[in-house]
Structure 1
Amino acid sequence: MDNIQNKLTDAAKSALNQSVQEITEMILEKAKQNACSHKTEDEISLHDILKAKQEILSNKHSEITKEYRRRRIYLMISMMGMVYAVFGIMFYIYQNNTYDITKDIGLVIAALGTFMTIIGFIYAQLTNTKSQEIIVRTDIADNNSLEFEIVRKWRTIEQLSTTLMLKDGIPSDRAKSINFIVEFLSQQLVNVINILDLKELLIARNAIVHKGKTFSKSELEENLLVANKIIIELEKRIHLKTL
């Protein structure tokens, strides 16, 4: 492991550390939810962490597995079609006692053409499988990165909101309440963002952390734009409070 890490460039080390931090945050969020579900939110146990890790990582692995399974089924159906076509032609020739190649040359040519088409199709599927797997893995990796970013951005929003509310004299217990944070943002940022977008961002964050739901890349990018707007506005207001 040390030998591998020594081969990493500074940029690679930075990206790896960021990825580890993002995954850690998602696992912590999920572990916190697990602890809350059995009324032990004041203490997150080893069981909560291990269960959260399994849920987070298994959700991502299952996406790749499902995609591979669909492709294998599609390829299997194509191969079965070729087998049926071959046996169909052979059975026809065997049953037809009057078969004469000089008279039925059209049938033979048509059969050969069908075989070549099917074989060519299957070959194309086989040669494209590897590149398709790479594309699938890349798309999922991109989405995972965006999902991690949404979780991280929302945590930043919570922290900034709490800081701003404390500066406004709001009691600590309310300033740290997620329900009050959402209410506060809805009131304070009504002229900055669409409140429906704020709710969509929170729904996406909760779905990613708690349910393992997947979103399209465009949906994730839209939510990140909303998160960035909120963060910029909150940082601006906190800065004004410190002047």
Structure 2
Amino acid sequence: MKTYLDTNILYYKHQGQNLNLNIKGKSITSINALEFLKNIEKKHHNKAKYHIPFITNHIHQIAIARMHKSIKKSHPFNKRLSDSIIFDFSQDFESYSLYNNKSVSEVINNKRKELFYSSIEFLGKSENKDIKNKFKFVLENDLKCDILNPEDIYLGYELLNEFLKKHTLKPDFRNCWNDILILAKSVNEGAKLITSDKLLNKFASEVYNGQIKQVDNTIEIQFPSSDENLENNWTKQESKGYINRGWQYKMNK
């Protein structure tokens, strides 16, 4: 059974807080990885704080390495070398591009330290050290990183549409949407999500028959496995409300 760790759990464990939780070999989503590794850019909607090249084969890796040698260390990799997802929320929320969904998973799961370090080399000394330390923490704990796929985005839009019928989102929409994507991935995988107490988490557990368990200062939400009978879930019964809103997405690479 898969267990996902939310970003706050990663921070707690990295900071050495006393959580009675063994995270070795657990899973994270690409969103958790990008948040923890300080990659998500909030001020600009069409770039990340750094871009990780998406390696498709060994020849591609050699080409990227040669390219990096030819540019100044103070220059980041071009965003076109990374993969991206464009989220379009029509007039409801500001649309933006999420970079490195696939590439951050690739460098974590294949332990490509050199490529990742090259991607952050242009950053200031203090920030570079902090991100590198967090990346080592992820590798040392053998965390597995799962990408977002189209099914997760579809479900994320459904969950957002349903949530807005009953609740109001907090001012930072990007943070809320990230939480929703993490929840959607957990639901689709029939996984356990270890996280903190949030309204969104409780809402998702209600509409997807998730079982909530309080453990110290965290909560564990166990979603039904994908092969269980989920006929009572609202996604089986209601129309695709997000389509009526005009929400779309596009994956590049």
- TM interval, shorter chain, is under 0.3
Using the size of structure 1 for normalisation, the TM-score is 0.26
Which structure features the higher share of strand residues? 2
Using the size of structure 2 for normalisation, the TM-score is 0.25
Higher relative contact order (CA 8 A, sep 6+): 2
The higher radius of gyration belongs to 1
Which structure features the higher share of helix residues? 1
